[in-house]
A = this chain, B = another copy of it.
Amino acid sequence: MKVKALVLEKVRELSLREIDLSLDVGPDDVKIKIDTVGVCGSDVHYYTHGRIADFIVKAPMVLGHEAAGTIVEVGAHVKTLKVGDRVCMEPGVPDLSSRASKLGLYNVDPNVVFWATPPVHGVLTPHVVHPAAFTFKLPDNVSFAEGAMVEPFAVGLQASVKAQIKPGDTAVVTGAGPIGVMTALAALASGCSRVIVSDLVDDKLAIAGRYAGVSTVNVRTGSLDQAVSAATDSWGADVVFEASGSPRAYEGIHALARPGGCLVAIGMPVEPVKLDISAFAAREIRIETVFRYANVFDRALAMIASGKVDLKPLISETFPFEQSIAAFERAAEGRPKDVKLQIRL
């Protein structure tokens, strides 16, 4: 069926045009009228580079995977949702009968189908069909804009779950981009008593530093090592979240963690990084890795609804659907004060 959508034609070429998409509602599906879609770094990267790792844009593809909207139709078997429900959607759909899914690790099922990951279309289009099992009702006090923030926040939350945060932990987050800030907020809401965020850019750090419990270090001018040591009586941080994806962030990163502590690798370095395994071993530091998220959308919504996490200050600007291309151009600029740009349909 012909519908309007923001289409990535090829590298550096976007169109807001009609495209043919299926909108058939299966028995376990719901159909959602999209309200808000966030612009993600991966969307922008497909726009500017045409690929991420082995995922290559070979044909026109609709962008967008951070979305919230309203249910307008439900499949025959759907009992948990109804027409009119305000919802947000988990954009990856696994094969629920796979070995990984049965273990509860559906995010690492090799057959996950994920919005706006070639060749799968995204959701910058007025309507989308999605399995009810991956569609989550927004609490009344959570807006569509916040609902569309759940997806990036879920990455930080997954990292916090992997870290097995204990109440009162001290955490470090290296990298104050959107995911770094989300991770800091997730860590605080998950029990950390404080988080030290590092970056090279003051404007980014300023945004993170406005939250209670966050202190910041610009590693151009200050020492993260010293900040952690001072904050922890030389014991080290319980958890270090690496959220920059920069190979340089890994240099000496083991020294930030306490004996028996944990490093969570969230950023995705484009090439192998050097790790001093023996130095990690000397403190028996555990390294966790994160691939998207599983089973955290409901948790994210509960935390937003309860006020434990306030993501609204991270929405830097909202564009109308008609100006989607402008939104992407702005995102591609990478302004340091921009955290999240959103598009309203």
List A residues at the B interface (Cβ < 8 Å). 28, 53, 80, 96-110, 131-133, 157, 160-162, 164-170, 186, 189-191, 193-194, 212-213, 233, 235, 250, 259-260, 265, 268-278, 280-291, 294-296, 298-303, 305-308
Known contacts A190-B167, A291-B281; is A307 also within 8 Å of B212 by CB? yes
What copy number does this chain have within its complex?
A: 4
Q: CB distance A131 to B191 under 8 Å?
A: no
Of A164, A170, A280, A291, chain B has the most CB atoms within 10 Å of the CB of A291
- Report A320 CB to chain B, min CB distance, Å: 32
Q: CB distance B165 to A191 under 8 Å?
A: yes
Known contacts A273-B275, A277-B269; is A286 also within 8 Å of B288 by CB? yes
Q: CB distance A167 to B303 under 8 Å?
A: yes
CA of A131 to CA of B101, assembled, Å: 15
Q: Find chain B residues with CB under 8 A from A305 CB.
A: 193
Q: CB distance A265 to B284 under 8 Å?
A: no
Residue of B nearest to A188 (CB): B308
Q: CB distance A291 to B284 under 8 Å?
A: yes
Q: CB distance B290 to A268 under 8 Å?
A: no
Closest 8 pairs between A and B when the two form their complex, measured CB to CB:
A104-B104, A168-B299, A108-B259, A97-B133, A193-B302, A167-B190, A287-B287, A96-B96
Q: Find chain B residues with CB under 8 A from A102 CB.
A: 96, 101, 104, 106, 133, 294-295
Please name 12 further chain A to chain B contacts, defined as beta carbons within 8 Å, in addition to the given A168-B303, A193-B299, sorted by A numbering.
Answer: A102-B133, A108-B282, A167-B190, A167-B191, A169-B299, A193-B306, A194-B302, A265-B277, A269-B278, A272-B275, A272-B276, A286-B288
Of A97, A131, A162, chain B has the most CB atoms within 10 Å of the CB of A97
Known contacts A277-B269, A289-B286, A299-B166; is A259 also within 8 Å of B160 by CB? no
CA of A231 to CA of B126, assembled, Å: 32
State which of B99, B104, B212, B287 has its C-beta within 8 Å of the C-beta of A103.
B104
Known contacts A108-B260, A259-B100, A306-B213; is A289 also within 8 Å of B299 by CB? no
State which of B104, B160, B233, B250 has its C-beta within 8 Å of the C-beta of A105.
B104
Known contacts A28-B97, A107-B284; is A302 also within 8 Å of B259 by CB? no
Q: Find chain B residues with CB under 8 A from A272 CB.
A: 274-277
CA of A287 to CA of B275, assembled, Å: 12
Q: Find chain B residues with CB under 8 A from A287 CB.
A: 286-289
Q: CB distance A289 to B298 under 8 Å?
A: no
